[in-house]
A = this chain, B = another copy of it.
Amino acid sequence: MNRSNVMNELGKILGPQGLLTAPEDIADFGIDWRRLQIGRPLAVARPANTAQVAELLRLCNTHGIGVVPQGGNTSMVAGATPSAAGDELVLCLARLNQVRQVDPRDLTITLEAGTTLRAAQEAASAAGCQLPLSIGSEGSAQIGGVLSTNAGGNNTLRYGNARDLVLGLEVVLADGSVIEALRRLRKDNTGYALRHLFVGAEGTLGVITAAVLRLVPAPRQSEVALCALASAGAALALLGRLQRHDPAALVAFEYISDAAMQLVLRHIPDTALPVAAAPAYALIHLATPRPGSDLRAGLEQVLAEAIEAEDCIDAVMAESLAQQAALWRLREEQSEAQKRAGASVKNDISVPVSSVPDFLARASAACAALIPNIVIAPFGHLGDGNIHFNLVQPPELEAAQFLGASETIMAAVNDVVRQLDGSFSAEHGIGRLKPAMLAAWRGGAELATMRAIKQALDPNGILNPGKLFPDRVERDG
């Protein structure tokens, strides 16, 4: 069967609304969110249900046509972008967007892959529960992509990554067979935990079409504080105090270096620093379903002890939801502030939590030695050991000059990460941008095992070709 016959077959499977082929309709599906990769889709399939996904994959597997699953297309590593050769089908899951069930007694939500994370959060809230996963792109990111990339975000410290919320999955395999495992069980030791293989696999092993996620009871009280600290070490000590006191209430513990804070204060209107200037800051968010107001008293006590012990220089607690939002803004506007400050080099790394101060010191020294006056502006999820170690161009350099050194800068940062047995991609995954690093960091038996699994589940290499692995798996199509 030649390609136009395959397209005819696809049209029959998907119906008139299910297959986009006009160049003006499909071009955007070929471009990643960061506009780093410009791909060209063969066509865009928009199936209406799991059965259509299965028929489509069976057909493409038979004919060796690459399939690129795409949700909200918000990947930071071009993980949902087709090749530029125009030979890969984009599989858009957006029409599979039903929340099938929310059960507050089981604390579960059953939903389809194309549901946006925000819609899922709202469905949970409407039932008096919370879906405890929050990322910047939640308005457009879809559950299928959120799970396929094992998304993290601000609440990971308390509730884990996306993976930790998954109880059940429905997955279509390369050959069109369907794993129907939308189970709502808290304990089930019947064979391999296949769901964990598909979560975080970036669409290279199967296409997630539906999921059962854990929910938690909605919080009743929350507190937000900003602390001025003498050092990153002092931030680590404060984290320890909070964890030993009431770890279950600690939803977020975010680190902001003074350099990063200054960028926000300078470039984002209507921001002000409500504590004494200091080398480092920590944003603390507590929340619990417990009724009453003990959360505030507990936080006051921990902060008083930290000030007494000179871990903490100054601290302010929000007095209202508006003040909570204002404090969070100092963290959430970091990306925007760095964008306005000029060109930047971003590193999404993690190290063991206890190694964060050491990492910051060594990576800062390495970058300062490379480029005089480079603006070292790290911030991020200290409670998870996940720092966005970002560097902004110094005033005296042109953006292009600075970006020309980005490989060198990243290599210097990653040298330190590797010495501390960390990760070069804590949250964002591998996609098209980092396969070479996967080979360098996770080679040997680890990569060989990943390859063996890929070969076993997708022998024709049709699922998200060119992603994750440093080279394409051989295709016979």
Contacts and interface: CB of A to CB of B under 8 A. Distances in A.
A189 B430 CA distance: 7
Of A236, A354, A428, A455, most buried by chain B (CB within 10 Å of CB) is: A354
Interface residues of A, number: 95
Interface in A285-303: 288-292, 294, 298
A116 to B, nearest CB: 21
A104 B239 CA distance: 12
A193 B199 contact: yes
B200 A217 contact: no
Contact of A196 (B103, B180, B197): B197
B200 A192 contact: yes
Contact of A161 (B128, B187, B292): B187
Given A150-B189, A246-B288, A246-B290, A456 B452 contact: yes
A262 interface: no
A164 interface: yes
A65 to B, nearest CB: 21
A177 B173 CA distance: 28
A204 to B, nearest CB: 9
Contact of A446 (B106, B181, B189, B423): B181
A17 to B, nearest CB: 28
A16 interface: no
B200 A468 contact: no
Contact of A187 (B152, B190, B236): B152
Contact of A177 (B149, B448, B453): B448
A426 B187 CA distance: 5
Nearest to A184: B352
A445 B179 contact: yes
Q: List the number of copies, as a whole number.
A: 2
B442 A191 contact: yes
A423 B457 CA distance: 25
Given A243-B217, A248-B249, A456-B455, A384 B187 contact: yes
A279 interface: no
A81 to B, nearest CB: 17
Contacts of A351: 185
A457 to B, nearest CB: 6
A229 to B, nearest CB: 16
A183 interface: yes
Interface in A379-435: 381, 383-386, 421-430
A447 B191 contact: yes
Of A163, A423, A450, most buried by chain B (CB within 10 Å of CB) is: A423
A430 to B, nearest CB: 7
B196 A193 contact: yes
Of A150, A353, A429, most buried by chain B (CB within 10 Å of CB) is: A353
Interface in A435-450: 437-438, 441-442, 444-450
Given A192-B449, A192-B453, 8 more contacts: A149-B189, A150-B189, A189-B423, A190-B425, A190-B430, A193-B200, A245-B289, A452-B456
22 contacts: A103-B354, A106-B385, A149-B189, A156-B186, A173-B449, A177-B448, A179-B449, A183-B421, A185-B422, A185-B423, A186-B353, A186-B383, A187-B350, A189-B426, A190-B438, A190-B442, A191-B450, A192-B197, A193-B200, A194-B446, A246-B288, A455-B456
Interface of A: 103-108, 128, 149-150, 152, 156-157, 160-161, 163-164, 173, 177-181, 183-194, 196-197, 199-201, 205, 216-217, 236, 240, 243-249, 288-292, 294, 298, 350-354, 381, 383-386, 421-430, 437-438, 441-442, 444-450, 452-453, 455-457, 468
